[in-house]
Amino acid sequence: MTPAARLLLRRAAAWRALLLGMAVLMLVGAVVMGARPRPWWFALGAVVLVGAGALTAWVRWQRERVIRERTLPAFLKRKLREQHPHLDGADCDLVERGFRQFFLACARSDRAFVAMPSRAVDTFWHAFILHTRAYAEWCDLALGRFLHHTPAEALGARASDNDGLRRAWYWSCKDESIDPRKPSRLPLLFALDRKLAIAGGFVYVTDCRDILAKSAAGGSDGAVYCGTSFGDDGFSGDADSFGGAESSDGGGGDGDGGSGCGGD
C-alpha cells in the first residue's frame, strides 16, 4: 500500500465528512440567499455525493484487502506454539486464517460487537495485542479504530454476548459461502479448536441432531456446541437475523469511529 493510500485510509471519515459537508453547505447557502437553482449546482452536488459514495466503497475494499493480505508479525506464531506446543507450522497458518476471518467479521458488522468463538485464535489475538504499536497500526488500517480484546466464549445467558457470536457465525459462514441457517460444514473460525485439539477449546458441530439423539438415549458428548443453534431461539438475543447481521448484510461502512466490535 502506498503512503498516499495509507493516509487516505486513515483519514477516510474526515474526507467523507468534508464532502458531505460541502453538499449541505451548498444547499443551505442557496436557500438562505434565496438564489434561483442553477443547473451546475445540481451537477456539482451530484459529483460530491458520488465522490463520497465512491470513497466509502474504496475504503471498505481496502480494509478487507488489509485483513486478507497484510503480513502479520512472525512472532505471533511462535507465541501461539508456546501456549500450544503440539501445533505445527500448518496448524499455525490455520489459526492465522481464523484470526483474519474474525477481523473480517468485525469489519462487516458496522461497529457492532463481535464475540470470539475460538480459544486458539484468542491466544493468537492476545499475543498480538500485547505488542501495542504493531497491533494499533493493524487495527487502524483494518478497522479504522482500536479493537479491544475480549476473551473467547460460547452461547450462554447474556443476549449481547450471544448476538456477538451470531455475528461472528454469520460473517464467517458468508466468507466461505456457507448457508448460516443450514450449514453443510463449519466455517474455519468455529472449527479450529476441535480440529487442532485445543485444550479447553470450544467444540462445534454442524448440526445438533446427533448430540440430541445421544442425549435422549442417556449418552453425552460433553460441552459440544451446534452451528444450527445460532439461528434458533434456544438462546437469548436476536436469533432471527443473527444479531442484526443478516438485516445489514453488506452495510459495514468504512469502519471509522465507534468503540470496536470486540468490546471494551
Can you list the residues of the chain whose pLDDT is less than 50? 217-220, 251-260, 263-264
Q: What is the 3-state secondary structure (H, E, C) of the chain?
A: CCHHHHHHHHCHHHHHHHHHHHHHHHHHHHHHHCCCCCHHHHHHHHHHHHHHHHHHHHHHHHHHHHHHHCCCCCHHHHHHHHHCCCCCHHHHHHHHHHHHHHHHHHHCCCCCCCCCCCHHHHHHHHHHHCCHHHHHHHHHHHCCCCCCCCCCCCCCCCHHHHHHHHHHHHHHHHHCCCCCCCCCCCCHHHHHHHHCCCCCCCEEECCCHHHHHHHHCCCCCCCEEEHHHHHCCCCCCCCCCCCCCCCCCCCCCCCCCCCCCCCC
User: What is the CA angle 171-176-180, rounded to 5?
Assistant: 55
pLDDT at 56: 75
pLDDT at 42: 63
Residue from 188, 67, 71, 174 nearest 118 by CA? 188
pLDDT at 234: 80
* Domain residue limits, the chain: 3-68, 74-231
Orientation of helix 119-129 relative to helix 75-83, angle to 10°? 130
d(CA 98, CA 87): 15
